[in-house]
Amino acid sequence: MLGRGVKRKWSCLEEELEDLPAAPCVTEGKPHLNVSDGSSPPEGPVVAPSKSQQRQVVLGLCLEKLQTGVELSLRRSVLLINTLRQLQEEMRSDGEDVCSHRESCLLRDSMKEDMAVTCPDCTEEDDIDSLLLPELSNQEEASLNDPKTFTAFSDAVSAMGYLSDLALDDIFEDIDTSMYESSDLSSAWASGVGLWDEDVKVKQQGALQSCISDLNELDHIMEILVKRGVQTVFTKKWT
């Protein structure tokens, strides 16, 4: 995750910007808006990305931000989630079936993490122990695009962020994680999301499918770990 205010390289952005990249502004007299050191815009015609591609970019960014910066502020998280919901709505209305299980999970994760991070009295009010077990059995039948059912599975997912992971590294080892620094789960998730960036540049559908199958394996592993007593960690941490 790039630091706040750090500009990405032009080559990363050029295919992801919504509008045509333009020449630097020419001001008269006072050259205050100078082109900073960095790559200059490419010469020649640039094809504007399609609406669908733009959506993918923004979706990827959204998920990435929800994963890595959820504790920054509630306002930021709420705005990100609203953007995500809007994207999912648009995709659904356009008939695109890219709302994967992963996205709904992450949506739930981030809301649950928000709850846990900023609102301990919520977790006090819910009876966590009673929620966890009954809902686990419904996990696989849960509607893919139903963000309303926030299951305890996602609670465990967020708790996972604090455990050192073993099996997940195997799944993600062939993914380029050079952009991400830490070695804990959150970077593993982030590198999974990093796929989104690659997708836009290559072909979307194929990479998405392999991503989804990887994630199904991930779900399975998660379930096993939950049954081993992760909920204990969760309840200790967030109550």
Partner 1 sequence: MAEAGEKSSEMEWCFSQVKGAIDDEVAEADLISAVEFNYTGELLATGDKGGRIVIFQQNPENKSQPQCHAEYNVYSTFQSHEPEFDYLKSLEIEEKINKIRWLPKKNAAHFLLSTNDKTIKLWKISERNKRPEGYNLRNGPYKDFTSIASLQVPVFKPMDLMVEASPRRVFANAHKYHINSISVNSDNETYLSADDLRINLWHLEITGQSFNIVDIKPANMEDLTEVITAAEFHPNQCHTLVYGSSKGIIRLCDMRAAALCDKHAKIFEEPEDRNSRSFFSEIISSISDVKFSHSGRYMMTRDYLSVKIWDINMGTRPIETFQVNEYLRSNLCSLYDNDCIFDKFECCWSGNDRVVMTGSYNNFFRMFDRGFRRDVTLEASRENCKPQSVLKPCKVSIGLEISIDSVDCNKKILHTAWHPLDNIIAVATTNNLFIFQDKLK
Task: Name the site residues for partner 1 (rule: CB under 8 A).
Answer: 2, 4-8, 10, 13, 16-30, 32-36, 38, 41, 54-55, 57-58, 61, 65, 69, 71, 73-76, 78-79, 81-83, 86-87, 111, 114-122, 147-148, 150, 237
Angle at Cα 84 formed by Cα 51 and Cα 94, nearest 5°?
40
Which of 79, 133 has the CB closer to partner 1? 79
Which three-class secondary structure state does DSSP give residue 93?
helix
Question: 140-165: buried (b, 16+ CB within 10 Å) or exposed (e) per residue?
Answer: eebeebebeebbbbbbbbbbbbeeeb
Which residue, 109 or 165, is less far from partner 1 as judged by CB?
A: 109
| CB of 61 or CB of 136, closer to partner 1 | 61
How many other CB atoms are found less than 10 A from the CB of residue 215? 18
Nearest distance in Å: CB 167, partner 1: 25
**Cβ at position 223, least distance to partner 1 in Å:** 22
CA-based nearest residue to 99, from 145, 139, 142: 145
Q: 83 or 235, CB closer to partner 1?
A: 83
As a whole number of Å, the CA-based R_g of the chain is: 20
Q: C-beta of 227: minimal distance to partner 1 in Å?
A: 25
Q: How far apart are CA 238 and CA 115, in angstroms?
A: 9
Give the Cα separation of 149 and 23 in Å (integer): 47
Q: How far is the CB of 216 from partner 1 (least distance, A)?
A: 24
Least gap, CB of 124 to partner 1 (angstroms): 11
Cβ of residue 18: shortest distance to partner 1, in angstroms? Answer: 5
CA 203 to the chain's CA centroid: 19
CB nearer partner 1, residue 28 or residue 43: 28
- Crossing angle for the helix pair 231-238 and 128-138, nearest 10 degrees? 140
Residue nearer to partner 1 on the CB measure, 54 or 100:
54
